[in-house]
Amino acid sequence: MAEIIDGKAVAAEIVAKVTAHAASIAGTVVPGLATILVGEDPASQVYVASKSRMAKECGFHSVQHTLPREITQAELLALVDRLNNDPAIHGILVQLPLPDHIDSGAVIQAISPDKDVDGFHFINVGKLGTGEIDSAFVPCTPAGCMLLIDRVRGRDLSGLSAVVVGRSNIVGKPMANLLLAANATVTIAHSRTANLPEVVRQADIVVAAVGRPQMIKGDWIKPGATVIDVGINRIPAPEKGEGKTRLVGDVDFNSASKVAGAITPVPGGVGPMTIAMLMANTLTAACRAAGLEQPKF
Ligand SMILES: Nc1nc2c(c(=O)[nH]1)N[C@@H](CN(C=O)c1ccc(C(=O)N[C@@H](CCC(=O)O)C(=O)O)cc1)CN2
């Protein structure tokens, strides 16, 4: 039976580190995080509320902008511009997805790269892709996955093969770059990869970020592999009562946990790391702005 990687516990350790570091620099700079939520998507409301609350718990200056779904792109861009020029704000987070009438790419690229704590701006994407990781902002979910992998495999992944299932800009591609920077031999697979089970079976480290509930089965997993499940899918759970649902990942946990060496659960695995790494990135942004040494996680 696999070791269960407790993302909640690791995230709590990161948040404690961030809080202590923020307290130690409070005389020089108070990290400021601005979150922007557009519309009333219930999951986004929960995530943004958690981010704002956790920023306060870390001792940050935390401001949440909650905007109606009907806001125009020009109005949203004007807010981003105001925050770019606000010296009390070191990190700007625009919660995704945005409504269809807003061009998410244009909004993300309008954020100052120095305040892009989501790591989605082309400058930060480019830095990560060219190995300039220390001066980049790394997207929060892949950064969190790397810290979970570190707990099992250490920082140097030389000699290990990793398969990332999923090629999104937010998770799959940055994840592959981070694994490569840690010296793993990396394959990016996706829903159209031929012989996907066979490809996944070669991997010492599997990162599942394909967005399909329980797609990756136990017999796809190499015995002893480290399995990181980024998926968060809500599926019907009639066993809990009519109309009830439950969260599952992209990995079929029951079968995969019998074969893997270590595996993240859903919930309680990668998800909590996303918010913890946002706090870490915001602290880093504040340290850079104040000319202080940046923290290491
Ligand atoms: N601007 C961004 N938008 C989005 C991001 C992001 O990193 N930046 N990621 C996701 C959503 N997300 C954070 O925003 C996020 C998703 C899930 C969790 C989490 O802790 N999940 C829990 C389960 C929560 C539940 O019960 O529903 C878990 O896995 O244990 C945190 C953050 C999309 N948008």
Q: Distance between CA atoms of 288 and 118, rounded to whole angstroms?
A: 16
Respond yes or no: is residue 127 known to be catalytic.
no
CA of 255 to the centre of ligand 1 (A): 25
- Identify which of 232, 234, 250, 263 to mutate to test ligand 1's pocket (most ligand atoms within 8 A of the CB): 232
Secondary structure letter of residue 269 according to DSSP: S
Domains in the chain with CATH codes: 25-120 (3.40.50.10860), 140-272 (3.40.50.720)
Q: According to the annotation, is 167 in a ligand binding site?
A: yes
What atom of ligand 1 comes closest to residue 97's alpha carbon? 34
Q: What is the pLDDT of residue 120?
A: 98
Residue 49 Cβ contacting ligand 1 at under 6 Å: no
Q: Distance between CA atoms of 212 and 251, rounded to whole angstroms?
A: 9
Q: According to the annotation, is 112 in a ligand binding site?
A: no
Q: What is the mean pLDDT of residues 33-45?
A: 97
pTM above 0.80, yes or no: yes
Q: What is the pLDDT of residue 4?
A: 98
Q: b/e map of 131-151 (b: 16 or more CB within 10 Å)?
A: eebeebbbbbbbbbbbbbbeb
Q: What is the mean pLDDT of residues 12-30?
A: 98
What atom of ligand 1 comes closest to residue 141's alpha carbon? 7
What atom of ligand 1 comes closest to residue 43's alpha carbon? 27
pLDDT in tens, 186-245: 999 998 999 999 999 999 999 999 999 999 999 999 999 999 999 999 999 999 999 999
Q: Which residue has a Cα nearest atom 17 of ligand 1?
A: 271
Q: Above 90 in pLDDT, residue 254?
A: yes
Q: According to the annotation, is 212 in a ligand binding site?
A: no
What atom of ligand 1 comes closest to residue 139's alpha carbon? 7
CA of 231 to the centre of ligand 1 (A): 10
Alpha helices in the chain (DSSP H): 7-24, 42-57, 73-84, 104-110, 122-129, 140-153, 172-181, 196-201, 253-256, 270-290
- Classify residue 296 as left (phi > 0), alpha (psi -120 to 50) or beta: beta
Q: Distance between CA atoms of 21 and 215, rounded to whole angstroms?
A: 40
Q: Which residue has a Cα nearest atom 5 of ligand 1?
A: 96
Q: Which residue has a Cα nearest atom 18 of ligand 1?
A: 271
pLDDT in tens, 82-123: 999 999 999 999 999 999 999 999 999 999 999 999 999 999
Q: What is the pLDDT of residue 191?
A: 84
Q: Distance between CA atoms of 21 and 37, rounded to whole angstroms?
A: 27
Residue 93 Cβ contacting ligand 1 at under 6 Å: yes
Nearest residue to 114 (alpha-carbon basis) of 236, 287, 242 = 287
Residue 120 Cβ contacting ligand 1 at under 6 Å: no
Residue 289 Cβ contacting ligand 1 at under 6 Å: no
Q: Which of 17, 115, 118, 204 is catalytic?
A: 118
Q: Which of 17, 95, 127, 229 is catalytic?
A: 95
CA of 266 to the centre of ligand 1 (A): 12
Respond yes or no: is residue 51 known to be catalytic.
yes
Q: What is the pLDDT of residue 189?
A: 97
